[in-house]
Amino acid sequence: MKNPFSLPSVRRRWGGWAAGLAALVLLTSCELFEFSPNQTHTPEAYRDLTRKNLEALLARPNPLGDDSLRFVFISDSQRFYDEAAAFVRSVNQQPGVAFVALGGDVSDFGLVREMRWVHDRLRHLNVPYLTVIGNHDHVANGRQAYQNVYGPLNYSFTYAGTRFICLDTNGREYGFNGRVPDVDWLRAQLADSAGVTQQVVLCHVPPEDADFDPQLQAPYVQALGEAPMLALHLNGHRHSFGISNPFELHVPFINSYGFEKRQYVMLTMGRTGGFRLQTVPY
Amino acid sequence: MRRFFSVCGGLLGSVLLAPPPGAAAQTAAPADTLPARRWHAPHHLVGQFAGGQGLITAGVGYRLNRNRLDLDLLAGYVPRRYSITPMGIFTAKATFMPWTVPLGPRGWAVRPLALGGYLSYTASKGLNATQDGKYPSGYYWWSAHGRVGGFLGGRIAYPLPAKRPGAAPRLVSLYYELGTNDLYLASWWGNPRGLSPLDVATLGVGLKLDL
């Protein structure tokens, strides 16, 4: 009998395994190979979407010219993938929309794969979309997943003379540690009015909600009240549409629909103040 | 295998009254013929890549039900690069393989179907828990740490030379698992048109080496 450990024999015997192993290493880039649903790593196409969408937005002229600014506002896409596809079809038929604002809870379980599923649908929008983090996006490793897929938890941008201030208000997810929302950061953004005619705050949990850090409710509301250019306060979390003024400020608070309600809000802001609100079923 | 048992049976048959062959080998084999195997001594070593159970996962397992059922205990690791803080994933897994198809004279064999399920616990300092003091009870229905999963798979096995003449051949097998978990299933459940089964699938591959 031939020596089973002779080199050619070993090569024959293990060559196949080695080739298989090499193929395996090549396949590690394959999405199916998942280390944990909580892994935060994501392919380049699903990274830094806030920055990419802002670049796309700022490169586009305002579809309504200098007169006004129109955007779509919706929230809580969590686990509503069928609805997300229908939403995209509807928004793509709306004239004059500059972008879509998504008021948090992109995901339900804070999983990076959920954020990819949402982006796989919303990337078919004809306009960029911008998000703010919701409480569900904080779950498990979600905070890091959101930062990898979208970007900073607090950020602002100016488009068509309007400053949008997007911030993390999910105080309960931090155990009400007295630091979220970052009121100092909010104040600084509201105070910076260079080249801006009005301001909009976009967040997930509104200050009147039980999930908002109670220690920060008064300073937060005070910061909003002291911002003369602030035109709208937009939030998600409650899944049902509402417009109210719970703190009797100069600013209306607008709750958006969740995706499952198959309706969204379309806001058209005048350059010199005032806005038109439409609710659109899809 | 049969030769192995007949040797043992010949040695021990006169001493023990109709013993189950495995038990005979474990309890009464003379030290110079077979090492005593304790009941809890694992039957195989496992190493796995991905499959939702860690970047690299290692563990031990047992064969039951006439080698059709594997029970494995695994510890997986996901480095910080893929997480807030490194994750340790501890998995208990059962794999049922009803059929074995021999391939040729060299002892290769395929198990074309494997059905399995697992429970896992993820330990990671940075993981934001869903069911702790931050929330009123029932705020989130799922756990960020505990997962339940299921999979379909298969394996191909090759016999290594036995440790001693007449002993059972030790198998080294390569397996795959195409699986999913409770959270992905919940996502798919509400969106049967929006998500495809492949969207919610995970893939893992691994090696088992008989001891």
| Residues B74-94 pLDDT 10s | 999 999 999 999 999 999 999
Q: Residue A267: pLDDT band by 50, 70, 90 thresholds?
A: very high
Inter-chain CB proximity A40 and B82 less than 8 Å: yes
Q: Is residue B135 part of a domain?
A: yes
Average pLDDT of the residues in A33-47? 96
Res. B3 pLDDT band, cuts 50 70 90: very low
pLDDT of residue A26 exceeding 60, the answer is no
Is residue B130 one of the residues assigned to a domain? Answer: yes
Q: Flag if B124 and A141 touch (Cβ within 8 Å).
A: yes
Distance (Å) from the C-alpha of residue A98 to the closest C-alpha of chain B?
26
Which residue, B88, B159, B167, B71, is CA-closest to B126?
B88
**CA–CA distance, B208 with B120 (Å, rounded to integer):** 19
- pLDDT, residue A127, reads 98
Residue A123: which pLDDT band, with cuts at 50, 70 and 90? very high
Please state the domain count of chain B.
1
Check CB contact under 8 Å for A85 and B87: no
Report, as an integer, the average pLDDT of A78-107: 96
Q: Which residues of B touch A30 (CB under 8 A)?
A: 203
Judged by average pLDDT, the poorest of A221-235, A264-278, B25-39 is B25-39
With an 8 Å Cβ cutoff, are B184 and A37 in contact? yes
What mean pLDDT comes out for the span B105-111? 93
What is the arithmetic mean of pLDDT over A195-218?
97
Distance in angstroms (rounded) separating the CA atoms of residues A29 and A32: 9
Q: In which domain, by residue range, is B142 found?
A: 49-210
Q: Which of A218-222, B24-28, B68-72 has the lowest mean pLDDT?
A: B24-28
Could you report the per-residue pLDDT of B175-210, keeping only the tens digit for each? 999 999 999 999 999 898 889 999 999 999 999 999
Answer whether residue B148 is part of any domain.
yes
Q: Do B183 and A172 touch (CB under 8 A)?
A: no
**Res. B4: pLDDT tops 70:** no
Tell me whether residue B104 is in a domain: yes
Looking at the predicted structure, is the pLDDT value of residue B18 above 60? no
Tokens matching residue A37: 């649903």
| Span A148-196, pLDDT tens digits | 999 999 999 999 999 999 999 999 999 999 999 999 999 999 999 888 9
pLDDT in tens, B109-160: 999 999 999 999 999 999 999 999 999 999 999 999 999 999 999 999 999 9
- CB proximity A109 to B under 8 Å: yes
B153 occurs within a structural domain:
yes
Q: Which of chain B's residues have a Cβ under 8 Å away from the Cβ of A84?
A: 194
Which of A33-37, A224-228, A253-257, B169-173 bottoms out in mean pLDDT, i.e. has the lowest?
B169-173
